[in-house]
Amino acid sequence: MTQQKESVVTPERFASGLTWSEYLEQRVQRNREKFNYNYDETVLGEDDAAAFKRLVQQPGGPAKVLALGEDWCPDVFRGLPVVARIAEASGMELRMFPRDDNLDIMNEFLNHGESQSIPTFVFYTADHRYIAHWIERPAKANAEMGEVQKLFAGLDREKDRDKMRDMYNDFQQGPIWGSWREETVRELRSLLEEKASS
């Protein structure tokens, strides 16, 4: 999608967003342990960390990232910690905005022009020029979403609700879920390397 010429995200609006620690403290009412788990489990390799740092330091590179999300969303409590780690490693300035309180921002970055998908990450230069945005989850996760449904094959949604919740919680600490974090790093690096060099 093409960003609107007059964005509601002014430099002042961006600066009003929450830092990662403020977001956790002030806005995360649900799933705090899952945010913390995904943050702890996200480890950038030396090559990725160096690549993001180089991108931030180059003229016109991604110096700022805006993140939209809500604490009830699994894609958010998996994806936001990844971006927090990238920002820390690279020196990128991260500001968090709860989606439901910032629908005017969300509506500039709709998924396929129609869905308010989260998380959404929007990257800007130091002088606040738009570079690129990324939405929801990596392609690998979209392709493997059927793995979640396979977990629940033969179970009854009403009768087996507790069992299904426990199985999904276990899945969120397993290798497929972990690979989605890794793929988020790869996709974001690829996106920024492409856009920052164009």
**11 vs 190: CA distance, rounded Å:** 25
CB 30 within 8 A of CB 77: no
Domain ranges of the chain: 11-196
Share of the chain above pLDDT 90, in %: 86
- pLDDT value, residue 109: 95
pLDDT digits (tens, 9 = 90+) for 94-146: 999 999 999 999 999 999 989 999 999 999 999 999 999 999 999 999 999 88
Highest CATH level, class, for 11-196? alpha beta
Structure-token match 């969303």, residue found = 73
